[in-house]
Amino acid sequence: MSEKLQKVLARAGHGSRREMEAVIEAGRVSVNGSVAKLGDRIETGVDLQVRIDGHLVSIQTEDDVICRVLAYYKPEGELCTRTDPQGRPTVFDRLPKVKGSRWVAVGRLDINTSGLLLFTTDGELANRLMHPSREVEREYAVRVFGEVSEENLQALRNGVELDDGPASFKRLIAAGGEGLNHWYHAVLSEGRNREVRRLWESQGLQVSRLMRVRYGDITLPKGLPRGGWTELPLEQVNYLRALVELEPESRSLMDKDKRSARRQAKIKTGKIRRAVNKHSRTRGPKR
Q: Would you give the DSSP letter of residue 153?
A: H
Q: Would you give the DSSP letter of residue 130?
A: H
Question: Rounded to an integer, what distance in angstroms lies between the CA atom of residue 36 and that of residue 29?
Answer: 6
Q: Let me know if 110 is a catalytic residue.
A: yes
Dihedral of CA atoms 169, 220, 83, 127 in degrees, nearest 10, equals -60
Question: Rounded to an integer, what distance in angstroms lies between the CA atom of residue 192 and that of residue 9?
Answer: 26
Question: Rounded to an integer, what distance in angstroms lies between the CA atom of residue 183 and that of residue 176?
Answer: 5
CA 180 to chain centre: 32
Residue type, 72: Y
Among the options 63, 84, 93, 110, which is catalytic? Answer: 110
SS3 of 3, please?
strand
**Residues tagged active-site:** 110
